[in-house]
């Protein structure tokens, strides 16, 4: 099956190899900065404050495709690994690999899986439809939670991992999934209109 072109490739196409590399590097840096901003912005929400990180991970994966989307998230994680305060709660809660090996480590690894999965589904055209983009974002969130809870249960056990690592976030996750749906199909409609 021939993959569908990504939103990025449709909006900013280039056949020149060097221009493509420069475009992709610039987009990856911009995406990592957007992830940092989304981690640092806390929105009052019930039952816990919400960041927009997982929303940004889903959109990056679907808009950039599996390779560039995953590379963008990997760049963000690498920035955190070398000690830049890019994660939520840093530098107050620690930095670098020590922070990444803490309770949120599985969720951070899940960002890679979520971006990749959303990118793969976008290559099959799932980011163009309201229903399928919602399913793709939901599956991406599920990948993040699965890795996060698996890691967390090793630290505090299954029951507490679910109690503290999943239950407080279900409402925010539904909202961020809905926001991904509100962004991607309209972005495709806008790109098609501009390109036609």
Between CA 91 and CA 183 the distance in angstroms is 31
pTM score of the predicted model: 0.93
Between CA 112 and CA 32 the distance in angstroms is 12
Predicted local distance difference test score (pLDDT) of residue 1: 66
Between CA 62 and CA 114 the distance in angstroms is 10
Predicted local distance difference test score (pLDDT) of residue 123: 96
Predicted local distance difference test score (pLDDT) of residue 184: 96
Residues 38-54: tens digit of each pLDDT: 999 988 887 677 899 99
The domains of the chain, with CATH numbers, are: 7-195 (1.10.1760.20)
Predicted local distance difference test score (pLDDT) of residue 47: 67
- For 65: left if phi > 0, alpha if psi spans -120 to 50, otherwise beta; the answer is left
* Cβ 180 vs Cβ 58: under 8 Å: yes
Low-confidence ranges of the chain (pLDDT < 50): none
Between CA 167 and CA 18 the distance in angstroms is 46
């Amino acid at each position: 099956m021939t993959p569908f072109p990504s939103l990025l490739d449709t909006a900013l196409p280039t056949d020149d190899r060097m221009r493509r590399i420069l475009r992709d590097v610039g987009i990856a840096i911009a995406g990592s900065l957007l992830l940092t901003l989304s981690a640092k912005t806390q929105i009052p929400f019930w039952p816990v404050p919400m960041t927009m990180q997982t929303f940004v991970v889903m959109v990056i994966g679907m808009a950039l495709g599996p390779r560039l989307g995953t590379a963008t998230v990997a760049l963000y994680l690498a920035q955190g690994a070398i000690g830049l305060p890019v994660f939520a709660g840093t530098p107050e809660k620690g930095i670098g690999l020590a922070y990444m090996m803490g309770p949120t480590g599985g969720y951070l690894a899940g960002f890679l899986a979520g971006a990749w999965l959303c990118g793969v589904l976008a290559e099959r055209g799932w980011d163009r439809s309201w229903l399928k983009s919602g399913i793709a974002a939901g599956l991406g969130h599920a990948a993040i939670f699965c890795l996060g809870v698996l890691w967390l249960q090793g630290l505090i056990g299954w029951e507490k991992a679910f109690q503290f690592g999943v239950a407080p976030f279900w409402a925010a996750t539904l909202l961020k999934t809905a926001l991904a749906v509100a962004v991607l199909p309209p972005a495709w409609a806008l790109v098609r209109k501009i390109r036609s």
